[in-house]
Amino acid sequence: MMKKLAGRIGREGRTLLHYVAPMKYKRKHEAGVVYELQEELRWFERVRNITPSYLHIHCNDEKNQTGKELFETEHDAMLKSAQEWLKQTSQSCSAVAVLVATVVFAAIYQVPGGTDNNGVPKLIGSSVFWFFTIMDVLALGSSLSSVVMFLSILSSPFDMWQFRSSLPRRLSIGFTMLFFALITTMMSFTATILLTISRSLNSKRWSANLLYSVAFIPVTIFALMQFPLYMTFKRAATQVWSMFKRLVPRRVIKSTRRSGKRRFRRSVVKKFQHS
pLDDT tens, 134-174?
888 899 999 999 999 999 999 988 988 899 888 988 888 88
DSSP 233: H
Is residue 184 within 8 Å of residue 139, measured between CB atoms? yes
The helix/strand/coil state of 115 is strand
Mean pLDDT of the residues in the chain: 76
pLDDT score recorded for residue 131 = 84
pLDDT band at 250 (very low <50, low <70, confident <90, very high): low
The helix/strand/coil state of 31 is coil
What is the rounded average pLDDT of the residues 73-82?
89
pTM score above 0.85: no
- Taking 60 as the threshold, does the pLDDT of residue 227 lie above it? no
- Taking 70 as the threshold, does the pLDDT of residue 1 lie above it? no
Residue 271 CA from chain centroid, whole number: 39
DSSP 58: P
Report which of 231, 220, 239 is spatially closest to residue 31, judged by C-alpha positions: 231
pLDDT score recorded for residue 234 = 60
- Taking 90 as the threshold, does the pLDDT of residue 207 lie above it? no
User: Distance between CA 138 and CA 184 in Å, rounded?
Assistant: 7
- Taking 60 as the threshold, does the pLDDT of residue 10 lie above it? yes
- Taking 60 as the threshold, does the pLDDT of residue 60 lie above it? yes
Give 51-54 contacts, CB < 8 A, sequence gap 24+: 51/6, 51/7, 51/15, 51/16, 51/17, 52/6, 52/7
User: Distance between CA 192 and CA 143 in Å, rounded?
Assistant: 19
pLDDT score recorded for residue 153 = 92
Burial annotation 223-247 (CB, 10 A radius, 16+ → b, else e): eeebeebeebbeebeeeeeeeeeee
What is the rounded average pLDDT of the residues 247-251?
60
What is the rounded average pLDDT of the residues 217-230?
60
Amino acid at 156: S
Give the torsion sign (CA, 65, 68, 71, 72): negative
pLDDT score recorded for residue 130 = 83
Is residue 140 within 8 Å of residue 168, measured between CB atoms? no
pLDDT score recorded for residue 87 = 92
What is the rounded average pLDDT of the residues 194-213?
58
Distances (CA, A) of 31 to 47, 59, 156, 239: 24, 35, 21, 18
User: Distance between CA 74 and CA 94 in Å, rounded?
Assistant: 32
What does the H/E/C string look like for 194-231?
HHHHCCCCCCCHHHHHHHHHHHHHHHHHHHHHCHHHHH
Amino acid at 171: L
